[in-house]
Amino acid sequence: MPYDPVLVQPMREEVTRLGIEELVDEAGVDQFMSRSGTKLVFINSVCGCAAGQARPALTIALQNEAKPDHVGTVFAGQDLEATAKARSYFADVPPSSPSAALIKDGEIVWFLPRHKIESRDAQTIAFDMVGAFDQHCA
């Protein structure tokens, strides 16, 4: 059952204030995925112990010179249809949240699952993201 939208709104804004596109329905996800270039899908979550570090990590990582052409976000547990649709583009990957998927030429080239976010600080998580951006988006 989704959380109270009022509770979740600051977690949404922590991401959208970066200029990241919020994808709230299936059509939005399809439109986002149809774009050319590299795409990062950040799967947001209310989880304090993981998402509480993942969102600041994303902020840090997007300051890197090499970064995806497009960055979008869905909110797991909140925007259910959009999240399911986004995950359908990388259906071979076990779903987890928070997580992040980097798509290039229609293929997932890098995935950051929840367990690689848990127990790590934002800087360390960002280091992983930047490594992927440098490898696939430069």
Partner 1 sequence: MGTFHHGKGDLHGITIVVDTTGSQVAIGRCDTVTPEGVILLDADVHDADESDVTKEAWIQKAAMMGHWARHPRIVVPTDQVASITKLGDV
Residue 116 in contact with partner 1, rule: CB under 8 A: yes
Q: Nearest approach, Cβ of 93 to partner 1 (angstroms)? A: 5
**C-alpha–C-alpha distance, residues 20 and 68, integer Å:** 11
Decide: helix, strand or coil at residue 50: helix
Q: Between 38 and 99, name the residue whose CB sits nearer to partner 1.
A: 99
Residues tagged active-site: 47, 49
Segment interacting with partner 1 (CB under 8 A) among 22-30, 35-43, 63-71, 107-115? 107-115
Residue 83 in contact with partner 1, rule: CB under 8 A: no
How does DSSP classify residue 121?
-
Q: Between 17 and 65, name the residue whose CB sits nearer to partner 1.
A: 17
Q: Between 31 and 123, name the residue whose CB sits nearer to partner 1.
A: 123
Q: Please select the residue that binds partner 1; options are 4, 36, 48, 105, rule is CB under 8 A.
A: 48
Task: Give pairs for 100-103: CB < 8 Å, separation 24+.
Answer: 100/40, 100/41, 100/42, 100/43, 100/54, 100/58, 100/129, 101/40, 101/41, 101/43, 102/38, 102/39, 102/40, 102/68, 102/132, 102/133, 102/136, 102/137, 103/33, 103/38, 103/39, 103/40, 103/41
Q: Nearest approach, Cβ of 49 to partner 1 (angstroms)? A: 5
Residue 114 in contact with partner 1, rule: CB under 8 A: yes
Per CB under 8 A, residues contacting partner 1 are 3, 10-11, 14, 45-52, 93-96, 99, 111, 113-120
